[in-house]
Amino acid sequence: MRYFAQIHELTGIREEEVIIENGSTLTNLLSKIEENHPSLLKVKENIQFAINCNLVRKNVYLNEGDQIAVFPPVAGG
């Protein structure tokens, strides 16, 4: 997993490997990383994910080898 912007600042790291069970969703993964990084609880509802460079919703199932990026919402203007 790679952490960007505010998420990187809150976790204090840019990247980590997280082991989860087969059949897990991004929601399951988010719960797991919140255990390791409780500071993410304050931005939990706004966190966005990309799997293999594609923006996804939290109910997506994960596959072995997926590359996951975690970042705060991005606003355009």
Beta-strand pair 2-3/68-71: parallel
Q: What is the CATH number of domain 2-71?
A: 3.10.20.30
Domain boundaries along the sequence of the chain: 2-71
pLDDT tens per residue, range 18-30: 988 888 999 999 9
pLDDT tens per residue, range 33-75: 999 999 999 888 889 999 999 999 888 999 988 999 999 877 5
| pTM for this prediction | 0.85
- Residue 7: predicted pLDDT: 94
Helix (H, G, I), strand (E, B) or coil at 2: strand
Q: Please give the Cα distance from 6 to 72 (Å, whole number).
A: 6
**Cβ contact 39:6 at 8 Å:** no
Q: Please give the Cα distance from 15 to 3 (Å, whole number).
A: 6
